Structure 1
Amino acid sequence: MKKQYRVCKNYEFSAILKEKRFYACPSFVIYVRPREKEYARVGISVGKKLGNAVVRNKIKRQVRMMVDEIFDFTEKFDTIIIVRPKYHEENYGNNKKGLERLKKKVKIV
């Protein structure tokens, strides 16, 4: 995922979360905010309940790979993906399918 497609700043995360438009599944919660720019951006948040720093970084790498495969970044949305503790109970394929379903819900609305 290229740097320009990432939400990095804390105030950007806060603005997207404040919008309160979200979609959820057992492994993920997605917060969405409309954007006027020409490309979408994605931010990933992994809480401390999921493990130590090594485990959380591994989860972020996996989610980044899912985002690269699922998103085409032509949407007009900023997105925050919050990983839930149920992420560990599923394998990579099932987690990816769950994220795909959430992205389709965002497109519908």
Structure 2
Amino acid sequence: MKKELRIKKNKEFQQVFQKGKSFANRQFVVYVMKKEDQETFRIGLSVSKKIGNAVKRNQIKRYIRQAFLELKDEVKKGNDYVIIARKPTAEMGMQDVKKSLEHVLKVARVLKKKNIGHNE
């Protein structure tokens, strides 16, 4: 995932927390903030030390980034997303992380519908 698609600065995180809307399931909390002047989306990741050691936390962050990479055509552009991983993510594999993220993004109504031919 490209560097310019990431939220790095504390100030930017705080802005998303204050102005954005939050959506959650058991594994993730996602904050979504609209940014009209932005043609792509940016993501910020927060994985607490409660979840595990550095190796585990980095693995979870890689999974989340990969899931966003795979979903990038369906995720609405012009938003900032901050994803906070919760404790159950420590036991999840890549597919579970993607499924769970997909679910919470659907709840947030920021996923475009897939055009595969079946109605949802």
Structures share fold, TM-score greater than 0.5: yes
- Does structure 1 retain, via aligned residues, the 8 Å contact 2:60–2:90? no
SS of 1:8's equivalent in the other structure is: coil
What TM-score, normalized by structure 2, do the two folds share? 0.81
2:6/2:44 contact within 8 Å kept? yes
When residues 89 and 53 of structure 1 are mapped into structure 2, their CA distance, relative to the original with a 3 A threshold, is closer
1:1-109, aligned counterparts within 5 Å? Answer: 1-36=1-36, 37-72=38-73, 75-107=77-109
Determine if contact 1:28/1:82 at 8 Å carries over to the other structure. Answer: yes
Normalization by structure 1: what TM-score? Answer: 0.88
Amino acid at match of 1:79: Y
Q: How many residues align?
A: 108
Aligned-CA RMSD value: 1.6
Say whether the 8 Å CA contact 1:8–1:43 is kept in structure 2. Answer: yes
Instruction: Tell me the percent identity.
Output: 40
Q: Offset of 1:101 from its aligned partner?
A: 1.6
Which is greater in Rg? 2
Consecutive unaligned residues in structure 2, runs of 5 or more: 111-120
